[in-house]
Amino acid sequence: MKELSEVIFVEELKYTEDHEWVTGSGATLKVGISDYAQDQLGDIVFVELPEVGTVFAKGDQFGNLESVKAVSELYLPVGGEIVAVNDALGDAPELINQDPYGNWIVEIKPSDTSELEQLLTVDAYRQLLRG
Amino acid sequence: MSTTNVPGVNGIVQNEPLLWEKGKKGRRGMCVPASDVPEVAFPAELQGKGIDFPDLSEVDVVRHYTRLSQWNYGVDTGMYPLGSCTMKYNPKINEKVATTPALAAAHPMLADALMQGNLQIMCELQEYLATITGLPGVSVQPAAGAHGELVGMLIFAAYHKSRNSKRTKILIPDTAHGTNPASAALCGYKPVPIKSGHNGILTVESIAAVMDEETAGIMITNPNTLGLFETNIREIAEIVHAKGGLVYGDGANLNAVMGIINARKCGIDVMHLNLHKTFSTPHGGGGPGAGPVCVTEELTQYLPAPRAEKVGDKYQLDYGGPESVGRVHAFHGNFAVLLRAYSYIRTMGADNLKKASQLAVLNAAYIKEKLKGTLPLAYNRPCMHECVFSDALLQEDKISTLDVAKRLIDCGYHPPTIYFPLVVHGAIMIEPTETECKDDIDQFIEVMKMIVREAKENPELLRQAPQRAKVRRLDETMAARHPCLCG
């Protein structure tokens, strides 16, 4: 497992305490998991994605990631409707391990963009991991 | 290098092909005399290519299965400290009883009058389990722990339905057995996860905060999967009962409290026991097991039917009333497991069942105390039948819990349960059970200490482990991502 100094952070993303990241500010947002999260989970072997069109509230569980160690829930950082899912993860869940920031999981149309302001900045997220 | 005496050494482990790859045309296990009956052609509709059985000699077959058996590791081979699984030694007398033809060969459709002995055993086993739990109604039908949980949830549902009470949720602590939320969900309930408190057990407040009249009840594993006794269970049960809910006790960890805890007095309404764990059936290979369900008098009417009962001096099957949740297993459940449990209870006796639990707890506590300076304890408080360590120290050397588990294989042990419960990072969960003697436990402790030393001095030994097993480390990721589901 990585030391904190080895964990990759991306400056312009917003993060959650559940180790998801969010990008975009306009009509749609993309959501994935952080490098720290994929490293902690270990090899991801299955991604359970929601149906396009489903509407979730902020913090709702929208899917699961199964690694060789355990199954972990995915929580939506901002409430909204699922407008797209990354189908490539179905055949190649390892993409998340290989490039957690390059491989988004779902794309959502946010119900309330002001929820974005409650997310963590990269510095706040880094601070959270330092504990 | 270390001088720790490890039980595992390189032995003669033979490779072995499939029987189909092994046979050779013309080999046979026996010679039969030439037939003196005239040959007659098979009817055309029965003719065909036939099955491709390999030709094998008797010694081919005997060696084949003997070699396969030598790849196996079981509780008859050595210590098997798989936490929450109670891999204790099963006395052979219970096997002997279970295979007694007079009991085992009875046809399950015999009339009651012709199988009085078997019915008596079922009836008395129900009574013994009722005495052990304090819950008077018992069904021995369920085939396993999770099956018992499902039956328990069906009983919850039947009870609430009878009171016209519509309830949709079940409270499930994060230290419950992993199957609990699945059993509740299968029954249509929404599992509500409850976080355990800072000391690893449930707090009264956390239950009071969420228990309401839409909640059917709670499923509590006690002792929980951290090996800790839920000391607040009575207060928690009172809160659940006050809101009209029921309390389910997952008895998978009964081996810690046999003859010591009365589930009824703890406020438990429904409880399953894992006979294969606690009452002497070899398990771990996928069954068969038995998960009898014990309930309060009030809930007895909902139990699966039929159940054995004694009327006068005769035994018979009682097919229950319309309130019963119905049959959940063909015939009499997994009867051979019931026989082993009956034999185990009778040969042990009440005092020794209690002593077995005391020794199971003592052994776990001994390991906890001896290893707590070597590995960090998840919760440093008195444990019951198992103790849980975290990987916090190992991480410093970039050694994972998995590496330790694999290294234990090289040292001749079945690894403990790892990465469970999920509330402990890199959990190593050790359950020695009462059937390991102090010498064997001391040896295990020394080996664990040696492995933790190796993690610092020679970490590659751990990362490359197992090196002495029949197969090396398997590619679990590849197996999960691209499972090969046919031969």
Q: Is pLDDT at B55 greater than 90 in this prediction?
A: yes
> Cβ contacts of residue B327 below 8 Å, gap of 6+?
B141, B304, B305, B306
Enumerate residues 6+ apart whose C-beta is below 8 A from B129. Answer: B138, B140, B273, B292, B294
**Which of A2, A6, A41, A43 best tests the B interface by mutation, with the highest count of B CBs <10 A?**
A43
Give the angle subtended at the CA of B244 by the CAs of B240 and B247, to the nearest 5°. 45
Task: Output the average pLDDT for chain B.
Answer: 94
Name the closest residue on chain A to residue B418, using Cα atoms.
A69
Tokens of B417: 């349960």
Residue A42 domain-assigned (yes or no) = yes
> pLDDT tens digits for B219-231?
999 999 999 999 9
**Cα–Cα distance, B290 to B302 (Å, whole number):** 19
pLDDT at position B186:
94
Residue B49 has pLDDT above 50, yes or no: yes
pLDDT of B1: 46
Q: Which of B10-14, B339-343, B398-402, B478-482 has the lowest mean pLDDT?
A: B10-14
* DSSP bridge partners of B217: B170, B246
pLDDT at A110 > cutoff 50: yes
> Would you state the pLDDT for residue B267?
98
Give B300-312 pLDDT, tens digit per residue: 999 999 999 999 9
Do A45 and B477 lie within an 8 Å CB cutoff?
yes
ipTM rounded to 2 decimals: 0.70
Residue A103 lies in a domain: yes
Q: What is the CATH number of domain B390-470?
A: 3.90.1150.10
A14 in a structural domain: no
pLDDT tens per residue, range B394-408: 988 899 999 999 999
Check whether B53 has a pLDDT greater than 80.
yes
Q: Which of A6, A44, A45 to mutate to test the interface with B (most CBs of B within 10 A)?
A: A45
Q: Which of B54, B64, B56, B63 is nearest to B29 (CA)?
A: B56
Q: Is residue A7 part of a domain?
A: no
Domain CATH number, residue A105: 2.40.50.100
Give the Cα separation of B88 and B344 in Å (integer). 13
Q: Do A69 and B480 touch (CB under 8 A)?
A: no
pLDDT at position B26 over 80: yes
Considering only alpha carbons, which residue of chain A is nearest residue B402? Answer: A69
CA distance B144 to chain A (A): 23
CB spacing of A69 vs B398 below 8 angstroms: no
Q: In angstroms, rounded to a whole number, what is the distance separating the alpha carbons of residues A48 and A65? A: 6
Q: What is the pairing mode between strands B417-418 and B215-221?
A: unpaired
Could you read off the pLDDT of B70-87 as tens digits, one per residue?
Answer: 888 999 999 999 999 999
Cβ-based contacts of A69 with chain B (< 8 Å): 419
Q: How far is A70 from chain B (nearest CA, A)?
A: 8
pLDDT at res. B10: 66
Q: How many domains does chain A have?
A: 1
Calculate what percentage of chain B has a pLDDT beyond 70.
Answer: 98
Kind and range of the H or E run holding B465: none
CA distance B402 to chain A (A): 10
Domain presence at residue A99: yes
Task: HSE, CB side, 13 Å, CA atoms: give it for residue B182.
Answer: 7
CB B178 within 8 Å of CB B420: yes
3-state DSSP call for residue A21? strand
Binding-face residues of A in 84-123 toward B, CB within 8 A: 93-94
Which segment of B2-11, B170-179, B381-390 scores lowest on mean pLDDT? B2-11
How far apart CA B335 and CA B333 sit, in angstroms, is: 5
Instruction: Tell whether A79 is covered by a domain.
Output: yes
What's the CA gap between B252 and B388, in Å, rounded?
17
Chain A residues with beta carbon closer than 8 angstroms to that of B422: 70
B387: β partners: B430
Q: Judging by DSSP bridges, how do beta strands B293-295 and B137-139 pair with one another?
A: antiparallel
Please list every residue in chain A whose beta carbon sits closer than 8 Å to the beta carbon of residue B477. Answer: 43, 45, 68, 94
DSSP B423: T
* Domain assignments of chain B as residue spans, ordered by start: 93-348, 390-470
In sequence order, what are the beta bridge partners of B311?
Answer: B314
pLDDT tens digits, B431-484: 999 999 999 999 999 999 999 999 999 999 999 999 988 889 988 888 888 888
- Contact B368/B429 with Cβ under 8 angstroms? no
Architecture of domain B93-348: 3-Layer(aba) Sandwich (3.40)
Euclidean distance between CA atoms B108 and B338, whole angstroms: 14
Say if residues B185 and B191 touch (Cβ distance below 8 Å): yes
Domain carrying residue A48: 20-130
Place of tokens 């196996």: B72
Partner residue facing B480 (CB), from A1, A45, A70: A45
- Chain B positions touching A70 (Cβ under 8 A) are 419, 422
Q: How many residues does chain B have?
A: 487
Lowest mean pLDDT among A60-64, B29-33, B299-303: B29-33
Q: How confident is the model at residue B3 (pLDDT cuts 50, 70, 90)?
A: low
